[in-house]
Structure 1
Amino acid sequence: MPDFDVTLLLDTGTLSVRDVRCRGECRHRSSEECAAATHLVFPYRGVYVRHVGSDESVADANHVLFFNQGQAYQVSHPVDGGDACLSLALPEALLQELAPPALLQRGAPGLSEQSLRIDPRAQALVALLRHGLAGGLLEPLEAEGLLLTLVCRSLGPRTTRAAASTRQRRRLVDRAKLLLASDLTRRWTLADIAAELGGSPVYLTQAFAQVEGVPLYRYQLRLRLAQALDRLPRADDLTSLALELGFSSHSHFASAFRQTYGRSPSEFQRALGAH
């Protein structure tokens, strides 16, 4: 039985989009796979690690990952729960037109980075596209326009790129991201995280800010809010949802959501046609 389910949401001949859900039964590295075309993959639930040779990338809702055409990779799931992603296949000609030259690989198709951090508006676009396409609420032309906006927002100058950092720091930060993802509702302290990882709270804070460009709390908050984006269409009680996601109250959740996405949770529900 396959470890994942794939649902085709859109295929216009120019762009194709799939909802990919993996049960995450492979704790260690999977067998090697290879993409037939370059994909931009936007995780929206759960977490996994993608391995390309000796390089690793933690895949969570704060990032877009690049699966290059012809590039071998493996996947592992060190955190229980599986994952789900919106996967967008891009023809090489379109990628060449949309991507900044500095991100394009030389002499090979695809992109030179493994992943980039996306901003909250890109996260919201992922949710709007996924729910809109799954519910038949988007016309193909509208969906293509939103997808191109998502690509440009994810690859363009608004994307935060990590400053130069050592491999040791990046590995420490990856371990911290996996720890946060293992229990999004927990109210972590720096001392808790540092104790789990075996390091100094000060060093961890500095390393995380350098690699990810945001503090640990802000990173965890965005992961919680990304879960809200996923669950809002099915949520009848926003207070219960807020508490389940680790917020202290509905007002705390609504304030953080509005500050991040520019609208309230109920307004976002209405935009999705959920209520």
Structure 2
Amino acid sequence: MPIDIQLKPVEQLLFRGEIVAVGRFRCDATHPLFRDSGPCSHHTFVFPRTITRIHHLGGPSFVGEPGRVAFYNQHQLYTRTKINDVDASDWFTIADDVLLEMIREHDPAASPRQPFRIAEGVSDAQSFLEQRRLFDALDGVVRASGAPQRRAGGAYHFDALTIEESVLGLLRRVVRAAYDARPRALRVSSRHADSVEHARRIIAAHPAENVSLRSLARACGQSPFQLCRVFRARTGETITRYRHGLRLSLALERLRDSSIDLSELALELGYSSHSHFTFAFRRHFGITPRQFRASV
């Protein structure tokens, strides 16, 4: 039987199979459910499209942003704080038995009630690009399909084997990367971890701005040297690389609009020219912005 999915008013189901369900969450900051949309209905992986601060009640706060993945256990309570005007994300739910088997490869202590003992992780560029293409392909079929193809629960019919195998492969890579990074993150003190998260919030709120290292460090209560050190120790990347990754991940959403000029988009994202943007995009994703736009 297909997974039992309980949708909130700000969610749409795109696919539901026996092992995997895929849906979208879109909530404007003015919506009553923005700050608190209630407990998570399922064990869920979430890939943000916009930038929002998330606080797990009884747990950590972090910036949910493109290029990262958030993990929610069923019944998890959490709240949001506005950074962008809308919280937009793509979510994936996996059958409990399959999820637990996947997680226990990396965390033998994972339990059926709490399979995720981490709140977030980094998605490598290729996995992020694959996730976006997979989701947008599903979304495109849903938008183009007529009512006769609807299934019970509001989802649509696809080749379930292909979709479920693709999702399991994608999420296994994301989980492996998140758990591989866990020991590194735990070595950073809570005070320094808070400084890193504050730096992320500042950059995420204005990713196109070329903030100076000294002013960023001052805002985080650290020396420039110390902030660079603890940022890399916690995230595994430099501040500059983090900012590039965020800008380029945000670019994927903007590139879906064919009316946006690439030179204008480059300047909007904080790059000095079209060529600079194209070089950074190709180095990050392995293709040019024009090639990505042609594929969506």
| TM superposition score normalised by structure 1 | 0.88
Q: Contact 1:119/1:159 (CA < 8 Å) preserved in 2?
A: no
Q: Which residue matches 2:88?
A: 84
Give the structure 2 partner of residue 74 of structure 1: 78
Shift of 1:157: 5.0
Check the 8 A contact 1:127/1:230 in 2, yes or no.
Answer: no
Alignment correspondent of 1:135? 140
Distance in 2 between the 1:153 and 1:134 partners? 22
What's 1:125 paired with? 130
CA RMSD between the two structures: 2.5
Separation in 2, partners of 1:118, 1:261: 12
Secondary structure of 1:136's match? helix
Q: Quick check: which has more Rg, 1 or 2? A: 2
Equivalent in the alignment of 2:115: 110
Q: Percent identity?
A: 26
1:98-130 residue CA offsets vs partner (Å, 9 max, x unmatched):
224333524634211111121111211221122
1:60 equivalent among 57, 60, 65: 65
Say yes or no: does 1:199 pair with 2:222: yes
Q: Which amino acid aligns with 1:40?
A: F
Asked if structure 2 preserves the Cα contact closer than 8 Å seen for 1:38 and 1:68, the reply is: yes
Q: Distance in 1 between matches of 2:138 and 2:54?
A: 27
Deviations 1:51-101 (A, max 9, x none): 230422321123211110233x22121424232111111111111232243
Return closer, same or farther for 1:158/1:52 CA change in 2, 3 Å cut-off.
closer
**2:70 & 2:200 partners in 1: Cα distance?**
15
Task: Compute the displacement of 1:246 (Å).
Answer: 1.2
Change (3 A) 1:242 1:184: same
Matches of 1:160 and 1:214, distance apart in 2: 14
Give yes or no for the alignment of 1:149 onto 2:154: no
Shift in CA distance, 184/160, structure 1 to aligned 2, threshold 3 Å: farther
- 2:11 is matched with 6
Cα distance between partner residues in 2 of 1:226 and 1:94? 29
CA distance in 2, matches of 1:110, 1:252: 42
- Check conservation: 1:63, 1:115, Cα contact below 8 A: yes
1:7 Cα deviation from its structure 2 partner: 2.2
Of 272, 276, 287, which aligns to 1:248? 272
In the TM superposition, what whole-angstrom CA distance separates every residue of 1:227-272 from its partner, at most 9, and x where no partner exists? 1111212133211111111111111111111111111111112222
Are 2:290 and 1:266 aligned?
yes
Q: Is the 8 A contact 1:4 1:22 kept in 2?
A: no
The equivalent residue for 1:222 is 245
Amino acid at match of 2:164: E
Aligned to 1:42: 47
Following superposition, the deviation at residue 159 of structure 1 comes to 6.6
Q: 1:4 to 1:25 in 2, by over 3 A?
A: farther
Match of 2:151 in 1: none
Matched residues, number: 268
Alignment partner of 1:135: what SS? helix
5+ long unaligned stretches in structure 1? none
